[in-house]
Amino acid sequence: MPAIISIVGKSGSGKTTLIEKLIPVLKQRGYRIGTIKHAAHGIAVDKKGKDSWRHKAAGADTVVLASPEAISMIKDFKATVLDDFEKYFDDVDLVITEGFKTGDKPKIEIYRSSAHQEPLCLDDKDLIAFVTDSTFRTRVPTFGLEDIEKLADLIEDKFIRVRAPILGVKP
């Protein structure tokens, strides 16, 4: 199974932007990347009235939208921990989650001083890196908001390369 890391931070801190910058760097290095977005308030993927919505509304437990280029799945699923999702990511080298701040996976916190008074997870035992525009001192490696290559180096060294001999991932 792939390594899973979580990008965490308070609302408006830039989690999605950080992930958008990180994925292309890791892809350029030859890795396959999956993502999971935590949606605490539920999701609405399908539009009311569409055939797939009608299938789900009729009681289907799983609905797959299939095209020649991609699939999308809507599935009844009771996940309690991130490990419950691993079975859906057997074809990637790394899974990056957005959110899951209370999970037990390695975390990278993004913190913007202009958006919040203090960080979210500095005392979290699973915190492995801190991305910020502030001068906060942390016990973990700290990166600037644009230090994406260096952050990717850390992820590659600690979470992808160490798995390479076991999984056949490109070193």
Rounding to the nearest 10 degrees, give the CA dihedral for residues 93, 147, 110, 78. Answer: -10
For residue 8, the surrounding DSSP H or E stretch is strand 3-8
Q: Tell me how many domains the chain contains.
A: 1
The whole-number pLDDT of residue 51 equals: 84
Phi and psi dihedrals of 144, rounded to 5? -75, 165
Q: Scan for tokens 């079975």, then name that residue.
A: 87
The whole-number pLDDT of residue 33 equals: 96
> 119 with 136: CB under 8 angstroms?
yes
Q: Which residues of the chain have pLDDT under 50?
A: 165-167, 169, 171
The whole-number pLDDT of residue 7 equals: 96
The whole-number pLDDT of residue 170 equals: 52
**Average pLDDT score over the chain:** 87
Nearest by Cα to 6 from 98, 88, 81, 129: 98
Structural domain includes residue 14: yes
- Structural domain for 163, as ranges: 3-40+78-167
Structural domain includes residue 52: no
CATH of the domain at 33: 3.40.50.300
Structural domain includes residue 82: yes
